[in-house]
Amino acid sequence: MIVGVLVELSNKNIDKIFDYNVPVELISKIKVGIRVIVPFGRMTLEGFVLEIKKSNDSNVELKNIISIVDEDIVLNSELLELGKTMRNKTLSTLISCYQVMLPKALKAKNGSVVNIKYDTYYRLGNISPDEKFNSKQNEIIKCFENNDLVSRSKLVSISLSSLNTLIKRNILVAEKKEHYRVLYKEINNKKKELTSDQKEVVSSIINNSPDTFLLYGVTGSGKTEVYMEVIDYYLSLGKSSIVLVPEISLTPQMINRFRERFGDKIAALHSALSDGEKYDEWRRIVRGEVSIVIGARSAIFAPLTNVGVIIIDEEHSDSYKQSDPNPRYNAKEIAILRSKYHNCSVVLGSATPSLEVMARAKKGVFKLLNLPNRVNGKSLPEVDIIDMNNEMKKSKGHFSLKLISSIEECLEKKEQVILLLNRRGYSSFITCKNCGYTFKCPKCDISLTYHKSSNTLRCHYCGYGEKVYDKCPSCSEESLNRLGVGTQKVEEELNNIFPSSKILRMDFDTTSKKGAHEKMIEDFKNQKYDILLGTQMVAKGLDFSQVTLVGVINADTSLNIPDFRSSENTFSLLSQVAGRSGRSEKTGKVIIQTFNPDHYAISMVKSYDYLGFYNREMYIRKQLKYPPYYYLCNIRVSGKDASYIFGEALKIKRSLDRNLNNFIILGPSNSSVFKINNIYRYNIILKYKDDSLLYPLLEKIIEHYKSISKIKIDIDFNPSQML
């Protein structure tokens, strides 16, 4: 028997299948989709079996595979075909497409193995009538009166010596059962009565399946209840479901709500889990022990069978697009591909749909469904926009007097506050007032961010860090000035203004520890804290009944990013965070501080005018030839020699000009962050409507440069950010 193996190395030069002979003793275990260990040159590598052949197609003598890693299939037939489609659409290596689908424990790799955990249980053996037991032994045996199996931990708590004696006498027989590292709550089957709007939406999804739906519902309109009702319907038909959420911070709340309804039918797949937990969850899915998978972007590859619906919550989020490394896939596109395989529906939900998705819905490509009202019948919270140009002289630090008085009023009523500042750290950068020196990362073209708690400057691109000293390293004067604002700085100001309030800071720095997201959300829900201060992770999906005030410290942060989506991202972020206020019976309020109060991305949030924003932004996109009117492709040319890289980028640009008609080709130009980790980066931007000529040309460019080590070509179709 001959097998075709794809080895673990992600390199365009070896992006192909290699044939190996299968020793007789392994033939019975060979299946397409398992991992094997093979010799490869002087190396020993893991790889995936993609083909089984009866004979050798060439006259070359084949090497034997060394061993088999898995007895069960790792990549089923659907995922194998999906990987090939991804390779063609993203121009990545095939192995990178398969690796991104799998938890770390199942990737082809050189590394440690994640072990399966077991618990020990006991059952009664044969007990003869004349067996005699002491009191402790009798106590142990009584544990089996209503149970076939009893855990070791329960029996040890009675008497370890008595337990060992019973085992030696074969009175008790040990059995091992696999122990899953993720714990599940008991099912409560909590089901809310749907509103008439919700019932209508559920009926539309069920009766028009299969199709792709945009569920456009205001914040607090009960989209999650709609998701659960649709899933419940497909469960009754014996079908499974996938639910994607954009932020890790949303996962605990979403999972808890689903567990209350569906119990242990759920598996979770997200980056907050350990490697062992992901491995356990994946195997539960493969074994058919779960029917619902909830998680972030990569959960779209969950190996469920007979899928009835794929739901993507907060579909507008750019976190569904993998920007780096390859393959640069979009989970929404993968969802639609999988829906065709399973003949199932896709539901895209959002209060602020992305322009591309809304445009498709308005054209009838997707079916548009609406939830225009909050489930509690209340109107959306009033939004007050504060012009900080007029407030700076009388404000306290970064807080306007209006925001301070509103927080005080809220705290007096024992209600809670959410404050958004989309920047972590203490201050944006440190500069010298005397000579103008600014602390920059030596490896990246970016200023370092100051973190007061550790008194360090850190690069948020490559991770470089250094201690902060009193003197300027350039002029030796003690004249360092901390400019900009981060969450640590705002937290300090809050403690000074509201010394008796309990403040919880939620950003990348405070949530990096395992379980931190879930604990913070639970603590804030239980009112252990009065104020939740955070980055954009507090803006989406979170539901706290006692939050009646939301404040935005600086609404202009995302507006000032040099990206054509900056207005859309700003409107979406502000609308989403505004929706965290007044979600129960109490009336909510929102205060947005800005230096650009007349910008339409900010002013239209006041009236929650998504459609007005959509029409205005679409007009601008059409004039500037941006999506959804044109497709985009970013060709990034990078390397350590800036002069050489620029020269090669110019050659690529000329080749594109010669071969692509009706394309708008911009660049090469410096990336927004020109240097990262000592690698210089140039971008060539393509705008187009027809890609029939593009893919063959890009494949030729990749082929030409694949053996040149000092240059790297990265292709990103429809990038989420133009940085």
- What kind of fold does domain 196-371 have according to CATH? Rossmann fold (3.40.50)
Asked if the peptide bond before residue 210 counts as cis, ω within 30 degrees of 0, the response is yes
Please, which contacts does 355-361 make with residues 24 or more away whose CB atoms are closer than 8 Å? Answer: 355/568, 355/614, 355/617, 355/618, 355/621, 355/627, 355/628, 356/627, 356/628, 357/214, 357/315, 357/316, 357/332, 358/214, 358/216, 358/614, 359/618, 359/628, 360/214, 360/628, 361/214, 361/216
* Residue 618: both structure tokens together: 């679409």
Q: Has residue 252 got a pLDDT over 80?
A: no
Q: Report the pLDDT averaged over residues 331-344.
A: 97
pLDDT of 561 reads 81
Share of the chain above pLDDT 90, in %: 62
Q: Has residue 249 got a pLDDT over 90?
A: no
Residue 601 CA, chain-centre distance (Å), reads 25
pLDDT of 119 reads 86
* Residue 464: both structure tokens together: 């470089």
Sheet with 456-458: strands ordered across: 449-451, 456-458, 465-467
- CA 101 to CA 8: how far, in whole Å? 14
- CA 202 to CA 679: how far, in whole Å? 50
pLDDT of 424 reads 52
* Sequence spans of domains, the chain: 2-106, 118-178, 196-371, 382-427+484-620, 631-717
Strands (E) in 313-426, as ranges, are 345-350, 367-371, 382-387, 416-420
pLDDT of 634 reads 96
DSSP H helices in 595-693? 600-603, 610-624, 642-659
- CA 375 to CA 673: how far, in whole Å? 44
Q: Report the pLDDT averaged over residues 634-659.
A: 97
Give the angle subtended at the CA of 77 by the CAs of 73 and 82, to the nearest 5°.
120
- CA 414 to CA 403: how far, in whole Å? 17
What's the mean pLDDT when you consider all of the chain?
A: 91
**Residue 687: what are its φ and ψ, rounded to 5°?**
-120, 135
Buried b (16+ CB within 10 A) or exposed e, 33-58: bbbbbbebeeeebbbbbbeeeeeeee
Question: Using 50, 70 and 90 to split pLDDT, how confident is the model at 27?
Answer: very high
Straight-line distance from the first to the last Cα atom of the chain, in angstroms, rounded to the nearest whole number: 50
pLDDT of 628 reads 97
Q: Which of 65-74, 510-519, 642-651 is predicted least confidently?
A: 510-519
- What kind of fold does domain 631-717 have according to CATH? Alpha-Beta Plaits (3.30.70)
**Residue 693: what are its φ and ψ, rounded to 5°?**
-90, -15
Region class of 135: left (phi > 0), else alpha (psi between -120 and 50), else beta? alpha
pLDDT of 432 reads 87
Task: Check if 2-106 and 382-427+484-620 are the same fold.
Answer: no
pLDDT of 489 reads 85
- What kind of fold does domain 2-106 have according to CATH? GIY-YIG endonuclease (3.40.1440)
As a CATH number, domain 382-427+484-620 is: 3.40.50.300
Per-residue pLDDT tens digits for 376-423: 888 899 999 999 988 877 777 889 999 999 999 999 999 999 999 876
Q: Has residue 181 got a pLDDT over 90?
A: no
pTM over 0.85: yes
Per-residue pLDDT tens digits for 102-132: 998 888 775 556 788 888 899 998 888 888 8
pLDDT of 112 reads 52
Share of the chain above pLDDT 70, in %: 97
